[in-house]
Chain A
Amino acid sequence: AQTVTQSQPEMSVQEAETVTLSCTYDTSESNYYLFWYKQPPSRQMILVIRQEAYKQQNATENRFSVNFQKAAKSFSLKISDSQLGDTAMYFCALRMLSSYDKVIFGPGTSLSVIP
């Protein structure tokens, strides 16, 4: 069965500092995508960054970057120069591109950015 695990229920970081959120996953498929979604207090789900499993290069989007370790099935998110608006729940997600095309989410990490 496919699973996504986030071992840090809550984290905090000082404004302007860097923080890393952890995610591990399990799948027997070779073709899949990984995502980090952000859910601010408004509860809207916002895509932060995506990573294709067949790409070795780590994805980067402005202050957000990932460390994708395929063999270890690890997909961590690094937020640099943290801002107050980064305060949110962060969900790691796995999309498998088999015939059933399922997207499953981890339990989330609540990130608080402290002024």
Chain B
Amino acid sequence: DSGVTQTPKHLITATGQRVTLRCSPRSGDLSVYWYQQSLDQGLQFLIQYYNGEERAKGNILERFSAQQFPDLHSELNLSSLELGDSALYFCASSGGRGRDTEAFFGQGTRLTVV
């Protein structure tokens, strides 16, 4: 168990809808990263937050947004969903410089858009 919790584990929704994915980082971790992994693809970096502030942005669509709350949990909002948004969405956390070197991953949320 990595200590990173993602909910829900599975999500099936229709095109055009909006969903929210939730991530609780390891206790004390300040950094949260979101990744998208399409079928048989690598991990595409979406966005990173550090202690509530957006720190880095990757190839995140304008239809997607994220935030990190004061209790450090994070949410990824996906709107106007398309079939191509079907993927495994990972959240990872780390303690930041000086504490941990690697990112610890949650189990992922599998999103299916029908």
Chain B residues with a Cβ closer than 8 Å to the other chain, count? 26
- Cα distance, A45 to B6, chains bound together (Å): 13
Q: Are A101 and B96 in contact (CB under 8 A)?
A: yes
Does B92 make an interface contact (CB < 8 A)? yes
Q: Are A105 and B108 in contact (CB under 8 A)?
A: no
Known contacts A44-B107, A102-B58; 20 further A-B pairs (Cβ under 8 A): A35-B102, A43-B88, A43-B108, A44-B105, A44-B108, A52-B101, A91-B42, A95-B101, A100-B55, A100-B56, A101-B31, A101-B48, A101-B50, A102-B45, A103-B33, A104-B45, A105-B35, A105-B43, A105-B45, A107-B42
Q: Are A102 and B56 in contact (CB under 8 A)?
A: yes
Give 6 closest A-B pairs by Cβ, nearest first. Answer: A45-B105, A100-B56, A107-B42, A102-B56, A105-B43, A33-B101
Taking CB atoms, residues of chain A closer than 8 Å to B92 are 45, 103
Q: Are B102 and A106 in contact (CB under 8 A)?
A: no
Interface residues of A toward B: which range?
20 to 34
Taking CB atoms, residues of chain A closer than 8 Å to B35 are 105
Does A11 make an interface contact (CB < 8 A)? no
Q: Interface readout for B30-61 with A: 1 if CB under 8 Å, 0 if not? A: 01010101000111010010100001101000
Q: Which residue of B lies closest to A96 (CB)?
A: B56
Q: Which single member of A91, A97, A100, A105 contacts B48 (CB below 8 Å)?
A: A100
